[in-house]
Amino acid sequence: MVNFDSDWDNSSLFHLGMVVEAPDLAGFLIRSYDILASFAIILGEETESVHFKQQADQLFLLLMERLHDEEGFFGRYGKNADPIQARSSLILKLPIMIGYHLEENVKQRLVRDLEEHFEANYGLATERIDSPYYKENGYWLGPIWAPVTYLFIDSLASFGFEEMAKRLRDKFLQVTLVGGMAENFDPITGEGLVDTSFAWTSSVFLLFLHEKITEA
């Protein structure tokens, strides 16, 4: 894929060039195939369900074979599929969305990395703050984004990390009090960045606010 396919336009994962193999796309496809398999069962299409499940399982095996090692997930680029050494982008942690496929040690390491290297004052930075690629107001090189925040919080809550999910949810609610409904936010100061009125930020805010109110 190319950088705009993932919507992480200037992520450090894409700085060496195109085309890139990235674990986020694999995660989305695996999750989609698994959902289609469950829908097929509801519709009585057992053969289709088996097909979709096989696609998900095969793609998961490829993901772990090609884009994962003892240090975690990584990307590849170019015609030779060379490994990308930079591993400082939050995009590489999106396989948390298929936590039901991951072995416990892989999942625990991924979550520990989120806590130690990406969680900031107001949520998950899209680039490690100690990374040489990190930039203030850097679009996908640091700022917090609502849709990505939602994906991580939903996944963490679904796969046994409820405390962290609630903490990140509350941080997101707090950042909107500082930076409004901006396109993205400074992870340290909470300042609203780029477009100061963004619909998906408002949507995620309403979902989290409803969740917090109803759990009280």
DSSP one-letter string for 11-79: -GGGTT-S-EE-HHHHHHHHHHHHHHHHHHHHTT-HHHHHHHHHHHHHHHHHHHHHSEETTEE--EETT
Over residues 105-137, the pLDDT tens digits come to 999 999 999 999 999 999 999 999 999 999 999
Confidence of residue 3 (pLDDT cuts 50, 70, 90): very low
| 90: DSSP letter | G
For residue 190, tell me if it sits in a domain.
yes
How far apart (Å, rounded) are the C-alpha atoms in residues 16 and 12? Answer: 8
Confidence of residue 173 (pLDDT cuts 50, 70, 90): very high
For residue 76, tell me if it sits in a domain.
yes
How far apart (Å, rounded) are the C-alpha atoms in residues 194 and 199? Answer: 13
Domain count, the chain: 1
pLDDT at position 2, please?
A: 45
How far apart (Å, rounded) are the C-alpha atoms in residues 53 and 95? Answer: 17
- CATH code of 157's domain: 1.50.10.10
For residue 120, tell me if it sits in a domain.
yes
For residue 56, tell me if it sits in a domain.
no
For residue 9, tell me if it sits in a domain.
yes
3-state SS class at 184:
strand
Tokens describing residue 70: 């003892």
| 197: DSSP letter | B
For residue 57, tell me if it sits in a domain.
no
For residue 83, tell me if it sits in a domain.
yes
Domain that holds residue 157: 3-22+67-215
For residue 44, tell me if it sits in a domain.
no
